[in-house]
Amino acid sequence: MDVLQKCTEYNLHEQMRERGLYPYYRQISSAQDPMVTICGQKVVMLGSNNYLGLTTDSGVKQASIRAIERYGTGCAGSRLLNGTLDIHVQLEERITRFMKSEAALTFSTGFQVNLGVLSALLGRKDVAILDRMDHASIIDGVRLGFGKSVKYGHNDMEDLENKLSLIQEDRGKLIVVDGVFSMEGDLANLPEIVALKNKYQARLVVDDAHGLGVFGENGRGSAEHFDVEDEVDLTMGTFSKSLATVGGFISGSREVVDYLRHHSRTGIFSAAMPPSAAAAAIAAIDIIEAEPQRRKQLWESTRYMKKELDNLGFETGPSVSPVIPIAVGEDITSFEMTMRLLEEGVFVNPVISPAVPPGQALIRTSYMATHERDHLDFALEGLAKVGREFDII
């Protein structure tokens, strides 16, 4: 059998293109602002993870420009060998202070954080315990390790305890969970997870890619929100959401971070993140601390949209974050509504199986601190029109 045969047999994307329903790789020719330009058309952006609107902040952009002028565009090597710049060290020190941890280690992408960290920590006698809705990077990171894995029902604490109780005492236990679930917009039940972690002598990693900058009095994420920061062993964060650039980090104890610095293959064998990205992340953290009003504005828009979408009759599920999904049912409906909404001037993202169970497709909307009420009201008009067309409301 030809190993490439599967490529020629797969034709869903061609079918969608022929029907004008292909919703991926849409070309945006402007910045990630509340309004973006697609094929010359201005549309309201409800599909970005630029939660605090910092990708176009003048201070963040200038920091990035200055870094390029000083260091050039890249590092030409891995952090382990020739790719560590002083600005990388400055960023890790800045993250450590912001997260109130002992140490931090940066990676070139957020996906690489989970791949490298989890595969390095999970040995043959270890077990990873995962929420069924954990991000793909968590799933893949566990697969790369030598340990075993079990999954519990989404936010089902009774099932989590049952899974923990069945693991032998001589096994290392690592609970890995999203702080904010990126498709559903709900939060992990960290207080109960922490209680079970302690009861069964497990360790806890929280992927807070969508919580960092958004939750907590100081923007440190879901653990700060629940006041359990001291109980989380490792926190993963990305720079590609609230922190306005690309890359990611792990923060925790000095000993664990130093171990990962010398054992995480995605860090050791990947080129270092560009200096421009490191500078942008530092500037973004400074703004998060100095301008809490951005987070306040984000939450005002989030609460307004959740209320209005619910009032229109949309099913938005248990979301309590700036990610607000709309249940639409079948995958094809998600595709069709996504493209109709674009015609109405609203950019949203389709979420289909296997990201969600079959028959539970979503339209994913997300919000930014820089959205104005006019943007949101225009989007609501389009959502209401298209929702009625498809008998969703």
- pLDDT category of residue 355 using cuts at 50, 70 and 90: confident
Q: How many CB atoms lie within 10 A of CB 212?
A: 31
Contacts of 173 (CB under 8 A, 6+ apart): 126, 127, 129, 164, 167, 200, 201, 202, 203
**Contact predicate 347/44, CB 8 Å:** yes
Q: What are phi and psi of 229, to 5 degrees?
A: -55, -40
Rounded Cα distance between 384 and 382, Å, is 5
Instruction: State which H helix or E strand residue 340 sits in.
Output: helix 331-343
Report the phi/psi class of residue 221: left, alpha or beta, with left for phi > 0 and alpha for psi in -120 to 50: left
Average pLDDT over the chain, rounded to an integer: 97
pTM: 0.96
pLDDT at 12: 86
pLDDT at 6: 92
C-alpha dihedral sign at 336, 339, 343, 345: positive
**CATH 3.40.640.10 domain residues, the chain:** 58-290
Closest CA to 363 of 318, 331, 393: 331
Position 57, amino acid: D
pLDDT at 354: 87
Which residue pairs, CB below 8 angstroms and at least 24 apart, start in 139-147?
140/111, 140/114, 140/115, 141/114, 141/115, 141/116, 141/117, 142/118, 142/176, 144/115, 144/118, 144/119, 145/118, 145/119, 145/120, 145/121, 146/122, 147/122, 147/123, 147/172, 147/174
* Secondary structure of residue 139 in the 3-state scheme: helix
pLDDT per position as a tens digit, 38-95: 999 999 999 999 999 999 999 999 999 999 999 999 999 999 999 999 999 999 999 9
**CATH 3.90.1150.10 domain residues, the chain:** 16-45+292-389
Q: What are phi and psi of 70, to 5 degrees?
A: -85, -45
CA 369 to chain centre: 17
pLDDT at 328: 98
Sheet of 323-329, strands arranged across: 323-329, 361-366, 349-351
Pick the CATH number of 58-290 from 3.40.50.300, 1.20.120.450, 3.40.640.10, 3.40.50.720: 3.40.640.10
pLDDT at 369: 98
Find the mean pLDDT for residues 302-320.
98
Catalytic residues: 182, 210, 241
**What are the structure tokens assigned to 281, written together?**
């992340």
pLDDT at 146: 96
Instruction: State which H helix or E strand residue 311 sits in.
Output: helix 292-312
Homologous superfamily of the 16-45+292-389 domain (CATH):
Aspartate Aminotransferase, domain 1 (3.90.1150.10)
Find the mean pLDDT for residues 183-202.
97
> Angle at the Cα of 375 (from 374 to 377), degrees rounded to 5?
65
For residue 361, what are the β-bridge partners?
329
